[in-house]
Structure 1
Amino acid sequence: MTAQTPTAPHPRPQLTRERWFNLSGQWQFCYDDRDVGLDRRWHESWDPSAGVVERTIVVPFPPESAASGIGDTGYHRVLWYRRTFIAPHAPGERLLLHFGAVDYSAQVWVNGHLVAEHRGGHTPFSADVTGVLADSADQVVVVRAVDDPHDLEQPRGKQDWQEKPHAIWYERTSGIWKTVWLEPVPATRVEQLRWTPDLESAMLTLDVRLNRVPERALRLRLLLTHEGETLADSVVSMTRDRATISVRLQQADMTLERQRMLWSPETPNLFDAEISLYGNPAPDGSTAGEAGELLDAVFSYTAMRSIAASDNRILLNGRPYFLRLVLDQCYWTESHLAMPDPDAARRDVELVRSLGFNGVRLHQKTADPSFLYWCDRLGLLVWAEMPAAYEFTSRAVQRVTHEWLEVQRRDYSHPCIIAWVPVNESWGVPNLATSSPQRDFVTALYHLTKALDPTRLVIGNDGWEQIVTDVITVHDYTAHAEVLRQRYGSNAGVSDTLQEVQPGYRSVLLPGMTRDGHPLMITEFGGISYDAEDGPSWHGYSVVHSTEDLIRRYRGLVDALLDAPAVAGFCYTQFTDTLQEKNGLVGADRKPKADPAVLRAITRRPSAAVPADEIGSFEYGDYPSTVMTPPSPTVDFPERLS
């Protein structure tokens, strides 16, 4: 925990403190295929002679991956981890132990004491370990993770339940697969931030939660700046564990786009925020912002941005906007769902932009917070999707709902996210068309999501069998551009497609759901494989054998949708090759299969639906001149393994 890596993003980028300590790197590791570790109390005594077949793993890479140093893709339900650390907190501080994600369930001990239990493979959790720290220098953390490959009630996304990847599913990502880190914190502290913009009233609202109800009245200060200019300096009193600060920005600032105050992919303007928590005021009558003892200080950022669906169009910041998305599974051959190095997220965002897309549809995976950070910073819209379970049972309903709520709580404040997608292609609800309970579940997820976040679009079930949604979405993998033109080139063609054609061999709209002004998007199309003949592969929906043919086919399909006045946006399948899926515009190694400038020119051509949609143009590398970097952490992130 000594190397300085300023470029490494904070593992919780919208609520940072100046000190955090990364526990990534070498851990002790073993499988527990007989599930005897709990009975033998491995969390208290890690003794190889007692049955622990010890190995070394590189955290946060899953043991199935080559980057972990293990590379074992077989069935292993129970995994154990152990390492020591030195407690970095000062007297009077508390010490939090954070886990970015452990798939699927986790138990955590520190010095033999159980400090945390968590279920959900894609969301973070933490524990205050101060009370169990030993007097000796070395502290011991042990993790037991359970990830049953055969459990189809578990939200698993595209992690395969078969031993070898088949069709469109890929290798599993078990155990610890996101950053583990330590954070020294005050006893009374800011625990959660929630930013909500409202363009109509030019109001920006910050909801703050503390870790506990304060024993005395406290004061909370928000300092909001944009490129060095103070936008707000507000103080409120806190007598409970939560408070709200609402800031009204100058109306002129919000309406004059030339001042570049709104957030969009073309102008990703962010406001930097300092949130300070103070104790009792000083006796000399100092101003509120300076009064009293400073108890806690955190850093954040936010933006002014709105998204809506109205009159067959998507509206970004109140203006019609054509969505040009690409399907992104955020998967790497060497590290699976885990990022291979701290800079991988930034490189992917830059690469997506270089191909001309203004957004991504995250597919069956929750994004790493650093990916959302760079989407916020560099300007890339995000459709956030819940990883699916594959059986419909009461347990699956509870698991999906619980984890979906945690996803929204973690990611709510990111301005890049414009849509929530709780279900994709009826995965986990296979009898949606005929089962009332399954329809009720999808409807409930939609309305629950809207209740928690009325500011974003919600797509109840992406692709087909839609019963409730803000955007009608269709998955259409025809290989022929002329067929796309016939299906979506006119309102009559769209009506016939939605009611009769059924491109995914499923009804697009279930009884009770009508188009009725909803925007129409083709959220999966293309899937063109290029030379998918080097070993076992899933060849996609069509195959080409030259760069020229790939460009020609891509141009034809994209042009057909850009020329369709009834289409409000699209999502091309897909960004990268993913194991046996060889239908990416770039390979698994992130090397483009065609000249990015050529692909960008095709992707960025004006659309018939919204001919003047963008606020301005952007090109690869055209980023804001001022980018706030979070405080440089003390970290020890493992170098990328080749």
Structure 2
Amino acid sequence: MPLPRPEYPRPHFDRSHTWLSLNGTWDFRADPGGRHAADQADGYDQRITVPFAWETPASGIAAHWLETAWYRRTFTVPADWTGQRVVLHFGAVHHAATVWVNGTEVARHEGGYTPFSADVTDALGEAEQLLTVRVHAPADKRHIAHGKQRSMPRDDYDGVCFTPSSGIWQSVWLEARPATHLAALRLRPTDDLTGITAEATVRGPHTATAVLRLRVRGESTTARLEIGPDGRATGELPLAAPRLWSPEDPHLYHVDAELTSADGSDRVTCYTGLRSITVDGEALYLNGERLFVRGVLDQGYWPGTGITAPDDAALRRDLRLAAAAGYNLVRKHLKLEDPRFVHHADTLGMLLWTEPASPGRFSDASTAAFAEQIDAMVERDGNSPAIVIWGLYNEEWGLDWDIPGDAAKQRAVVDAYDRLKALDSTRPAVDNSGWTHVRTDLLDWHYYDESAASWATTIADLLDGRRDDFPVRLGPDYLVHKKLAVPGQPLRGLPNLNSEYGGGFTALERAWHLRWQTQEMRRHDRLAGYVYTELYDIEHESAGLLDFHRGAKDLAGVDPAHVNAPTTLVLDVTPVAPGRDLLTAEREFSLSVRVSHHGAEPVTGLLHTAWTPVYGATPEGTGEAVPGCRAEAKPYTLGAPVTVPAALPEGWTSGRLHLALVTDGTVVARTALDVDTRTEPYIGDDPLARVAAH
């Protein structure tokens, strides 16, 4: 049987020249009453495949609501590791793990999303070693960090939660290193993006006399860092011809570190990219150039394997699928994902919004459990150039949906924000995504609405400053109005993002809302970006552009890549319903069209049109040019309206009008409009929509 997840698990701190994977088949025993002991040799009556959670079919167990279980396997230390310290690593174990080697306890860890390790050298015996792990994953997860894993008793947000993933769910491996070793290497671009700032941490008995050398691979840059009495060392690595990291050119600089001491030589490779992400007023800038976030939500679940990707290629594939749909950012939702996901984003040039898992209730214990993830998140993933936004809380989950009414919950948010910014001030941070903000760098909000008309009105009112709240439906008959921020948190002068949106029950309806809601946001120059919910379906949640297996869905001819393109067309229409965007009693009508352009240079071109039946796919080619209909736009400024005359083909009562902006024979933007001459109301028509034919 092939080794599951055989790739090296930690590419941001790479010691892959001296490692051994412990993934694969382990002995397993369920312990429903929590009565077994570590030294009990009997009862291991099942076999489990690591690193897949015990609820999953991929694990071979598929046990649900089991709270405690034991893992066991043997391993042999490679002969060429003699004289080295042997370190056991766990990528992530949900939720509380106790680890023994040959009966000696070597580690205890709580936190289902954060890595941990233990030097097990002193517990090793001769030849074969016995590794035992006890895992407790409480059914009641409300006071621990669990993200979208379902809790019993349930969370307030149970309706959007999924099957738990308990036990070992990321890779387990061994590494060899000297007693005096490199414990961390933080890499950040210099402020002027001409080099790399390095901050190293050295641990071990001969730290004081150790020598640390860094070399930028493929460059002439080297440095010797002086190690202080606290084991810290800092320095800069200037680059003769700096090459910036960007989505268009995701260039990475690998730094080889060698620590030499009386204990021997320790070698580690880390990497980063030269890029800046800054906030200036209400705009975001990447490397000094305006950035409009076109994001999509990704919750990190897979059929049959839960929160563990089935293989490394699946992580890369999800990023490619997001890019193919026109997105430039993925928001990994309420989950510290496998670090190889971050690595693939670095190499592919996909921007990331990263955030920890949430608890379900507010208490001292849950607040502490949430905060403990922050340090691990920044330490593990902070070198990544792809991560441009750090998230913290989400929609007041773990805060009992009551930030405005409770000063203690506001303090918890501020403390989390301050903790994060003290660790990393180079990226903007969101304190409480989507709902009431307390202290934040980005003013984001989550707005869902099934009415195209009220969607347009609310978005306009928020972005024009006419209102500072928005409606949130917490139940079929329970509507609340969420304030954007508590007093003291500015509502102006920060980038605005609609970081969750989408509507519709069927794939057809969702595609319609995707097209029109996204277009409506592109109408507003003040907006800094959006994040669509979501990339793929999960279990009972059918909100994805793709199904759970990442297969295509019937989007009724809508291509998300056209919707999310840097240049799009904005129609001055408030649509009525899917298949009936515009109702007109006459075959001939006219349409007002604008250009929204998020590029470095202005864009101009001729508008072209073509007709297909309603829900028809985009025709090949450019269509027919509309005489005199030249449209243009400056960067990040909505273009002036252009009136486009059109007429349904003879004999048609309805049809889809495809519009394209063509520059030098190339289509740079596309959209479509479904036109119907049968103007009587249909079931499902938006009663607030207006007829916009001229």
TM-score, scaled to structure 1: 0.83
Whole-angstrom CA distance in 2 between matches of 1:66 and 1:502: 37
Contact 1:355 1:597 in 2 (8 A): no
**Percent of counterpart pairs with the same letter?**
31
- What SS is found at the alignment partner of 1:429? coil
Give the one of 201, 204, 225 matched to 1:236: 225
Partners of 1:555 and 1:215 lie apart in 2 by 59
User: Matched residues in 2 for 1:129 and 1:316: separation?
Assistant: 44
Q: 1: distance between equivalents of 2:341 and 2:104?
A: 34
Q: Secondary structure of the equivalent of 2:159?
A: coil
**Given the alignment of the two structures, is residue 363 of structure 1 paired with residue 361 of structure 2, yes or no?**
no
Q: Tell me the equivalent position of 2:11.
A: 13
Larger-Rg structure: 2
Which of 145, 159, 182 aligns to 2:149? It is 159
Distance 1:614 1:347, change over 3 A: farther
Please give the alpha-carbon distance, in whole angstroms, between the structure 2 residues aligned to 1:134 and 1:499. Answer: 64
Residues 215, 458 of structure 1: alpha-carbon distance in 2 compared, 3 angstrom cutoff:
closer
CA distance in 2, matches of 1:77, 1:264: 44
Preserved contact between residue 564 and residue 609 of structure 1 (Cα < 8 Å): no
The answer to whether structure 1 residue 453 and structure 2 residue 453 are counterparts is no
Say if 1:609 and 1:211 are closer, same or farther in 2 by CA, change over 3 A.
Answer: farther
Distance in 2 between the 1:566 and 1:11 partners?
41
For structure 1, the residue ranges without an aligned partner over 5 or more in a row are 255-260, 281-292, 529-541, 617-642
Q: Is 1:183 matched up with 2:175?
A: yes
- Which residue is 2:115 aligned to? 124
Does the alignment pair 1:611 with 2:603? no
Deviations 1:47-68 (A, max 9, x none): 2xxxx25211111101111111
Question: Counterpart in 2 of 1:538?
Answer: none
Q: Deviations over 1:515-565 (max 9, x none)?
A: 221010000001x4xxxxxxxxxxxxx22354xx55433211111112221
Q: Counterparts of 2:428 and 2:489 in 1: how far apart (Å)?
A: 17
> Secondary structure at the residue paired with 1:543?
coil
Aligned to 1:534: none
User: Residue 56 of structure 1 aligns with which residue?
Assistant: 47
CA contact (8 A) 1:262 1:269 kept: yes
On the 8 A contact 2:56/2:306 being kept in 1, the answer is: yes
- Give, in whole Å, the separation in 2 of the partners of 1:205 and 1:584: 40
Residue 145 (1) aligns with residue 135 (2): yes
Secondary structure of residue in 1 paired with 2:552: coil
> What CA distance in whole angstroms lies between the structure 2 residues aligned with 1:53 and 1:218?
46
Q: Aligned to 1:173, what secondary structure does the other structure show?
A: coil
| 8 A Cα contact 1:382 1:417, kept in partner | yes
| Counterpart Cα distance in 2 of 1:190 and 1:14 | 13
In structure 1, what is the equivalent of residue 444 of structure 2? 473
- d(CA) in 2 for partners of 1:294, 1:585: 53
Counterpart position of 2:259: 277
Q: Per the alignment, do residues 353 and 454 of structure 1 end up closer, same or farther by CA in structure 2, a change over 3 Å counting?
A: same
Which deviations, in whole Å up to 9, do the C-alpha atoms of 1:614-642 show, x marking residues without a partner?
A: 999xxxxxxxxxxxxxxxxxxxxxxxxxx
Pair 1:85 & 2:85 matched: no
Aligned counterpart for 1:324 among listed residues 288, 294, 305: 294
261-270 or 102-111: bigger deviation: 261-270
SS where residue 343 of structure 1 aligns? helix
Structure 2 match to 1:346: 316
Are residues 1:464 and 2:425 paired? no
Deviation at 1:21, TM superposition (A): 1.1
Q: Output one character per residue of 1:61-86: Cα deviation in whole Å (capped at 9) or x when no partner.
A: 0111111111122x221111000111
Q: Could you tell me which residue of structure 1 aligns to residue 410 of structure 2? A: 439
Q: CA deviation at 1:266?
A: 1.6
Counterpart CA distance in 1 for 2:253 and 2:301 is 31
Q: Deviations over 1:354-397 (max 9, x none)?
A: 11111111111111101000000101111111211111111112
Given candidates 90, 94, 109, the residue that maps to 1:103 is: 94
Pairing 1:205–2:197 present: yes
For 1:10, give the aligned amino acid: Y
Are the structure 2 counterparts of residues 44 and 300 from structure 1 closer, same or farther at C-alpha, using a change threshold of 3 Å? same
Cα 1:615–1:87, aligned 2, differ >3 Å: closer, same or farther?
Answer: farther
Q: Is structure 2 residue 374 aligned with structure 1 residue 390?
A: no
Residues of 2 paired with 1:416 and 1:410: CA distance?
Answer: 13
How has the CA–CA distance of structure 1 residues 174 and 3 changed in structure 2, closer, same or farther, with 3 Å as cutoff? closer
**Residue matched to 2:572:** none
Deviations 1:574-594 (A, max 9, x none): 011011100101111011325
Paired with 1:303 and 1:508, the residues of 2 have a C-alpha distance of 34
Q: Alignment partner of 1:244: what SS?
A: strand
Tell me the amino acid that sits aligned with residue 611 of structure 1: H
Counterpart in the other structure of 1:257: none
CA shift at 1:472, angstroms?
0.5
Partners of 1:584 and 1:603 in 2: how far apart?
15
Amino acid at match of 1:249: L
Matching residue of 1:566? 526
Residue 424 in 1 paired to residue 394 in 2? yes
Count, aligned residues: 564
What is the distance in 2 between the residues matched to 1:421 and 1:324?
16
Q: How far apart are 1:478 and its partner, in Å?
A: 1.3
Q: Which residue of 2 aligns with 1:640?
A: none
Query: Do the aligned partners of 1:210 and 1:242 also contact (CA within 8 Å) in 2?
Result: yes
One-letter amino acid of the counterpart of residue 63, structure 2: D
Amino acid at match of 1:554: L
Asked if structure 1 preserves the Cα contact closer than 8 Å seen for 2:12 and 2:380, the reply is: no
Equivalent residue, structure 2, for 1:404: 374
* CA pair 205-610 structure 1, distance change in 2 beyond 3 A: farther
Amino acid at match of 2:226: S
Structure 2 residue aligned with 1:46: 41
Q: Find the residue that maps to 2:466 and give its secondary structure.
A: helix
Distance in 2, matches of 1:615 and 1:355, equals 24
CA distance in 1, matches of 2:308, 2:434: 27
Q: Unaligned stretches of 5+ in structure 2?
A: 474-479, 569-594, 604-694
Q: In the alignment, what sits opposite 2:651?
A: none
- 1:31–1:601 CA distance, 2 compared to 1 (3 A): same
Question: 1:500/1:3 Cα in 2 relative to 1: closer, same or farther (>3 Å)?
Answer: closer
1:488-520 deviations in whole A, cap 9, x for unaligned?
347x75423424656873222222222221010
**In structure 1, distance between residues paired with 2:399 and 2:483:** 14
**Cα–Cα, structure 1 residues 614 and 513, in superposed 2: closer, same or farther, change >3 Å?**
farther
Give the Cα–Cα distance (whole angstroms) in 1 for the partners of residues 53 and 3 of structure 2: 24
8 Å CA contact 1:60, 1:177 repeated in 2? yes
Quote the residue 2:552 is aligned against.
Answer: 592
User: What does the per-residue CA deviation read over 1:136-157, in whole Å, with 9 as the maximum and x for residues that have no partner?
Assistant: x221100001111113110111
CA distance in 2, matches of 1:140, 1:464: 49
Specify the code of the residue in structure 1 equivalent to 2:209: A
Could you tell me whether the CA contact under 8 Å between 2:566 and 2:597 is conserved in 1?
no
Against the structure 1 CA distance between its residues 609 and 214, is the aligned structure 2 distance closer, same or farther, given a 3 Å change threshold? farther
Q: Give matches, 1:505-544, under 5 Å.
A: 505-526=481-502, 528=503, 542-544=504-506
Q: Distance in 2 between matches of 1:110 and 1:497?
A: 60
Given the alignment, which residue of 415, 437, 458 partners 1:487?
458
Q: 1:166 to 1:120 in 2, by over 3 A?
A: closer
SS in 2 for 1:98: strand
